Every structure is written in C-alpha cells, then in structure tokens.
Structure 1
Amino acid sequence: MSRHPQFAVFGHPISHSLSPLIHQAFAQQFGIALDYRTIDAPADTFAEAVKRFFEQEGGRGANVTLPHKAAAYALADERTQAATHVGTANVLTRQADGRLVAHNTDGAGLVRDLTDRHDLDLRGHDALLLGAGGAARAVAWSLFEAGVQTLTIVNRSPQAADVVADAIGEPARVHTRYWEDLGNIGCFDLIVNATSAGTLGQSLTLPFALAGARAVCYDLGYGKSAFSFLAWARAAGALHAYDGLGMLVEQAADAFELWHHKRPDTEPVYQQLKAHIA
C-alpha cells in the first residue's frame, strides 16, 4: 500500500471518467504528488469497496458518480447541509477520527460555472429545470439559493418533481408542471437539462416556445451526451447554450479544496478539457 493518502472516483462504469485528469491537473498547480485512481464498483459491491478503500487502503477522499450517489450518502457517518438537502453525495471525506463525511458539490459547481465563468446573474431569472433525479435535486437547491425568481421543475414522472419542490418548501417560487404541458407553460430565461436522455442516447422533443429571447440553456452533461439538447437550444434561438463541462471542473475543485485545503485555478483545467474532448 502507498504511504501517500489515496484518492479515487467510484462509479459503474467509470473508465470514461475525467476526474483523474482533473485532479492530477489541480495537483500539478501545487506540486502535489497525487495518488488518484478509478474504482469500478457494481451496486452490490459498492459499500464493501468504499469500506476497503478508506479503512485498508489509506483512502482520504473519494468522488462518487453514477449510480452510487444515494448509496454514498447512506454510508456516511456525517452529512453536510448541502448533501442533506439533496439526499445524495458526490464526495466522501475521511476525517482523522475515521468518520466518513458526505458532501454534495454538484449544485455549487453549476452555479459557479454560470456566475463566474459565464457571467450570469441568476437573480430575477425564471428557471426551468428538466428532470428530478439526484443531479436535478442538487441543482434545484442551488439555483433557489442563488436567487432565481422562480423555478419550475418538470419531470416525466411528476411525483419525483413534486418531491424536489416539496423539499425546498417555497411554493410561491418553486413549483412543478406536467411534462405534457411544456408546450403551454410560457418561456424561460434559464433552462437546465438534468434528464438522462442525452446520456442514454435519446433526443428530447421540446417546444421552441420554452426559450425566451435571452434564454441561457445549460445541459449538465458534456460532449456527445449534451449535443442534442444544445442543438435544440440553438435552433430555438437561445442567447447562450452551454454544456456541463465547467460544472464538472468546479465541483471537482470543491472536492480538491476539501481534501488538500488549497483552491485550484479551474480555468486552465477547463480549457485543457475542452481541447481534450473536442
């Protein structure tokens, strides 16, 4: 076993993950020799693999991606407020006393990408969130806390959307509509796609009327998985159409800071990744 603290990303599948590249690039900024690897863990072995990593292999921190974010949250001894709001975790940190802490940095990563990288002031925006899964829950809380004027959540299963809205508990600002109503619920100036359609190779059939004249459209995915939604956004006349690569880098920076107590410069890493996946 290495004498260095170990870091990893858990997922299934995981070979496609950009996390090792991102964290190595961050580490190079500070001259840190980093041991960071991917761990492919099917759902039935995830808990055992996490326990082994932290208790036997010198693990100090881990990123967690699909399909394990809810399981990671359940495993933890402590949970941050952001993780508790969402009910999932994308980061695990082992404390000096051995306790495992669950964090969720997804929503904060999205907001920072929009506000810092793309210079968008979210206050006063009418936002539409497509999807109600784990990533959508993180995004919903963070958009609400960042000051959007209204947040409308639409999901093919309306019950899941209701759960997200009810958890926030601000019916005057956060509410749900049926997927079948997308054609007549008006237009929005921020539309966030948090569905799994692009990842699954499916295209979303959305009415152009959803996009306001100055709409910003954002897909939580990146690369091929974001292509269909971003093509729709441009065809609908959106002012800007962004993928989630910046969010990926920003949420990773939060994890890096939690583990190493240093804040990396995300912009050069973002530009490096854009070139890498182009």
Structure 2
Amino acid sequence: MAEVSLTGAQMLLVLEAVAEHGPVSAAEMARICDMNRTVAHRLLVTLAQRSYVKRGDKGYSLGPTVMRLAQLGQQHIRTVVKPIIVDLAERYGETVVVHGVSDLEAVVVDQAIAHKHLVRVEHRPGSRHPIHVGASGWALLAAQPERVISKALARLDNPEAARLRVAEIQKAGYAVSHDELQEGVHGVAVPVIDVDGSCEITLAILVPVTRAKSLLTFVEPLKSAARAVIDNMNANNLGLEPDNGMGDKPNRTRRQSGSTFSSAG
C-alpha cells in the first residue's frame, strides 16, 4: 500500500474546509479540522504563499490559484464533452447543456444548440443558479456527498419534501423539471458519475413546453452520453480514441502521434 503524506493530507483537508466554510480564521480552522491551532495557521500561511487561499478581514478564503485550476479543469471538460453534446443536439434537435457544481450552485459549463426548431432553449455559459433549482441543479445535488446534500437542503423552506425529491432522483438516475428557472421551459438531466463515485457535471436536454411530451425519451440517450464522457476522459488520459456515446464505438487503439429562451429549467 502506498504511503500517504500526513502533512499533505492535512493541507488538503484545510483547503477543502476553506472552500466549504470560508472565510475562516486559523482558530476556526483548527476547530473545524480538529487540529492544533499552530498547525492550522502554518498550513494556511503555506497555502496563502502559493495563492491557494487569500487572507482578508474576515479570515481565509479561496485564492486565485484555485480559480485558475478550476478554469483549466473546465477547459478539459469542455474538450471532452463538446463532441458528445454536439452529436446529441444534432440527433435529437434540442439544446444540450453541461452544468458544473460550484459552492452549492449549478454553473453552465457549455452547451450545444440545435437549429432544427425556430423556438429553442439557450443558456449563457457561466450563468449560475442555486443547486436546488432546475433539472441540472437537482441532478447535481442528488449525486453529491451526503454532507453537501444536507447543507443545501438545510437552507430550504421544506427540506423534507426536497429530501424525498433527492431520493427519487437517486433511484431513477435522472431529474426532471418544468417552469423552475423560466416559465415554459422543461428539462431532463443526468449526472456524470466518475469511476470514484464523484459527480462534477451533468448533461441535460432542455425543451420548450410545446415539445415537453418527448422529454423522457431523452433519458437513455443522456445516460449513454454520460457514460461516454467518463470513458472519453479515461481514454484521453491513456491516449485512446474517443467514443461519441451514441453506439458508434471506434476501435480502442492508441493514437499515432505524427425566437429563443435565454434561460432554462
């Protein structure tokens, strides 16, 4: 079994705590992470020197290095996901949207817009909304660790009903919504579950109410596309040919070197 660096593990624990609870002081960090205050302070100072965190009047919060790494991660996701969502949009004639999760919010990472219909749904990349709103938000929420789900639900007026909705989504493997972000827009979304069980993004198809009857027919294509995203991320790391998620699987051989809606449900 590989050895684990205790200091490295503590530093990651502190960084995660800043992301979840920040801004926080060294004393608060020591309490949250159950560690000596001097150790917490030393770790925060080390992280601050590399701009992973920054110190303000109210304590430490995430710094620009984390933001830059997140942007690089989103660029990688877009590179892998783009051909898959473009293929989905072309095949089914509807807008396909990718959402990521950021501090209990769903953020639009990318989209593929179909031009089959005059009336269609569009998102603005970078726009965000609470994670408990819309099909994409609910699909993201249901796939998060229990501590994140509990934190999000604690903010709602009716957490019991929200808990039931989360359980239903977890059982079905997809989320649906209508008129939650914008009246007249329906959506269905699936989580993209990595091999370690984590979920950073969702894939969703959004339609106007006039075509909402076909919404559930998109569940299986979306699930297949989500599996293809994970396969392609792994293939990308190994230098293998990608899969479009629509059953057109190429040989897994190594590469040789040489009037619209402005938001959605």
The interval holding the TM-score normalised by the smaller chain is 0.3 to 0.5
TM-score normalised by L of structure 1? 0.33
Which protein is bigger by CA-based radius of gyration?
Answer: 2
TM-score normalised by L of structure 2? 0.34
